[in-house]
């Protein structure tokens, strides 16, 4: 199959404008990589991957920077699926992903050198430190043409059971999806993108790939900092995707600076969780030259709706109309479709490249007729065709743009001998969007406090999953069937 692939496009761009900055470090005036240098780096990474790989996924453990995005292109050139690993995870969580995916190679940055010594996966992947690659790269012509129908990325999502699920996406489908984003969100070769979030996420990783596909410049933040983001959006970056917690911190920083216009920005996208209408309204003042938009989607379905907001007319919960190539529908509990004005679970049939999960035991949520992928979110269409996201069916907490499966945190807490039962929920928080909150009933005659439980969680979970709040109650609220009533815990203090 001789089809144009993403790595082919990167090579064309390197030939068309070799000296154009491709990737730069946000906050620095120098320290950039040109398109010619980016292609050379891809060849070096692909050479190392090809020599070590055995047809299994290539796990990528990198901090934000050039290699974090170029590794995707290198894996496609080498003919291996890329598996970005969340570098915030604790060792047991990384073990689970390596085991579930059967990763054969671990491509990692220098800061993760020796990381395998702290892990205990059943199958030890071959480590490659990207910072210490030596020797010549194999020539382009030595690589076999990539098959775009083969898996391109395996992204681990927060499963509602608490076990991450490895979602598989093919190369050609992802290419089409990225081009849809370029069309909808206005990314071109004249764009300077700000990447403030981690590239192990489908959104930030995908947008970083897209920036290189269209010939844009991508200014990457190693970690999010509101001050640096303000500087970039005031003077350099024309395009940014900001989860609401980032947007909140940027607006706070902007206020503290005396509200100077962040005038370089031409497009600001919010997504990941519901944005406060008042926050979006204030964004018009912070970004006077920008379109301020909001999109809705999820890992398996991709972004499926979008709306450019209007100053003074932001509708709460509204995430716009279906994007090009997305058939969005709502489904009642009996599987029937819901008309406008009625609530139902959001489903989509689109050109998403989602092929299923690595582990065949992972359940694929689809509509009764098998045609729509279900999101786990509850929505309602207005009469003019706009989607309102009104509730979340699946038990996921979105905190600071990161997804946390409450069941995973609950299992860790339940392992503590002083915890009789616990429920973990998200509570509204002005900075994080939702704060992970653990409601705990202690074991009789056992005393345990917040500090001890937090340390117990910190040793077993990524830092962003550790509860920010603990509440102690005699027992959890339950309905007549014995099911914990989490909606009561979300709505008010458990006591």
| Mean pLDDT along residues 74-82 | 97
Q: How far apart are the two ends of the chain, measured CA to CA in Å?
A: 63
Highest mean pLDDT range out of 347-356, 383-392, 456-465?
456-465
Is-above-0.95 flag for pTM?
no
Looking at the structure, do residues 137 and 185 belong to the same domain, yes or no?
yes
Which residues have CB under 8 Å from 57's CB, separation 6+? 80, 81, 82, 83, 101, 102, 103, 104, 105, 151, 154
In a shared domain, residues 324 and 427: no
**Range of the structural domain that residue 337 is part of:** 292-392
Q: Which residues contact 46 (CB under 8 A, 6 or more apart)?
A: 73, 74, 75, 77, 78, 137, 138, 143
Q: What is the Cα–Cα distance from 205 to 215, expressed in whole angstroms? A: 16
| Domain match, 378 and 436 both | no
DSSP state, residue 130: G
Looking up residue 365, the CATH number of its domain turns out to be 2.30.38.10
- Given 392, 409, 440, the domain boundary residue is 392
- Which backbone phi and psi does 301 adopt, to 5 degrees? -90, -20
Q: Has residue 419 been placed in a domain?
A: yes
- For residue 62, the 8-state DSSP code is -
Q: What is the mean pLDDT of residues 77-86?
A: 97
pLDDT in tens, 98-108: 999 999 999 99
Cα angle 155, 67, 219 (rounded to 5 degrees) comes to 95
The strand pairing partners of 391, in sequence order, are 378
For range 360-385, the mean pLDDT: 87
Residues 334 and 401 both lie in one domain: no
**pLDDT tens digits along 3-46:** 899 999 999 999 999 999 999 999 987 779 999 999 999 999 99
Total structural domains within the chain: 3
Per-residue pLDDT tens digits for 200-246? 999 999 999 999 999 999 999 999 999 999 999 999 999 999 998 89
Q: Check if the beta carbon of residue 340 is closer than 8 Å to that of residue 381.
A: yes
Q: What is the DSSP string of 308-356?
A: E--TT-PPTTB--EEPTTEEEEEE-TTSPBPPTTSEEEEEEEES--EEE
Residue 455 in any domain: the answer is: yes
- Do 77 and 219 lie in one domain? The reply is yes
Mark which of 392, 422, 438 sits at the end of a domain.
Answer: 392
| Co-location of 336 and 434 in the same domain | no
> 106 and 57 in one domain?
yes
In the structure, what pLDDT confidence band is assigned to residue 494 with cuts at 50, 70 and 90?
A: very low
Alpha carbons 337 and 377: distance in angstroms, whole number: 15
């Amino acid at each position: 199959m001789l089809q144009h692939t993403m790595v082919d496009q990167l090579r064309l761009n390197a030939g068309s404008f070799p000296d154009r900055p491709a990737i730069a470090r946000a906050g620095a005036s120098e320290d950039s990589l040109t398109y010619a240098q980016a292609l050379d780096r891809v060849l070096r990474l692909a050479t190392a991957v090809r020599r070590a790989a055995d047809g299994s996924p290539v796990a990528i453990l990198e901090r934000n920077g050039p290699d974090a995005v170029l590794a995707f292109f290198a894996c496609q050139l080498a003919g291996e699926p890329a598996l970005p690993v969340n570098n915030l995870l604790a060792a047991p969580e990384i073990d689970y992903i390596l085991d579930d995916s059967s990763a054969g190679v671990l491509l990692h940055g220098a800061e993760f050198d020796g990381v395998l010594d702290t892990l205990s996966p059943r199958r030890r992947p071959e480590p490659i430190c990207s910072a210490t690659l030596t020797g010549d790269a194999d020539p382009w012509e030595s690589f076999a043409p990539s098959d775009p129908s083969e898996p391109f990325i395996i992204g681990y999502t927060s499963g509602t059971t608490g076990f991450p699920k490895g979602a598989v996406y093919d190369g050609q489908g992802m290419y089409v999806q990225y081009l849809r984003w370029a069309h909808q969100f206005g990314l071109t070769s004249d764009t300077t993108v700000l990447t403030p979030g981690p590239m192990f996420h489908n959104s930030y990783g995908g947008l970083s790939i897209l920036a290189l596909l269209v010939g844009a410049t991508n200014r990457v933040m190693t970690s999010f900092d509101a001050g640096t983001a303000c500087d970039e959006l005031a003077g350099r970056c024309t395009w940014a995707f900001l989860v609401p917690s980032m947007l909140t911190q940027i607006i706070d920083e902007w206020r503290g600076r005396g509200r100077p216009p962040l005038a370089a920005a031409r497009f600001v996208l919010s997504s990941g969780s519901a944005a406060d209408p008042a926050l979006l309204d204030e964004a018009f003042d912070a970004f006077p030259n920008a379109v301020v938009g909001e999109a809705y989607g999820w890992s398996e379905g991709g972004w499926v709706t979008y709306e450019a907001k209007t100053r003074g007319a932001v509708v709460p919960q509204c995430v716009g109309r279906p994007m090009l190539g997305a058939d969005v529908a709502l489904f009642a509990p009996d599987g029937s479709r819901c008309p406008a004005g009625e609530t139902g679970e959001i489903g989509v049939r689109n050109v998403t490249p989602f092929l299923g999960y690595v582990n065949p035991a992972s359940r694929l949520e689809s509509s009764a007729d098998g045609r729509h992928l279900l999101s786990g979110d509850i929505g309602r269409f207005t009469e003019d065709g706009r989607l309102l996201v009104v509730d979340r069916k699946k038990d996921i907490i979105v905190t600071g743009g990161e997804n946390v499966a409450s069941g995973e945190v609950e299992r860790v807490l339940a392992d503590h001998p002083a915890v009789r039962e616990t429920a973990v929920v998200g509570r509204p928080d002005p900075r994080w969007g939702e704060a992970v909150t653990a409601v705990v009933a202690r074991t009789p005659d056992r005393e345990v406090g917040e500090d001890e439980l937090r340390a117990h969680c910190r040793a077993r979970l990524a830092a962003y999953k550790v509860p920010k709040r603990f509440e102690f109650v005699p027992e959890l609220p339950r309905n007549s069937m014995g099911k914990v009533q989490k909606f009561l815990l979300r709505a008010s203090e458990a006591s």
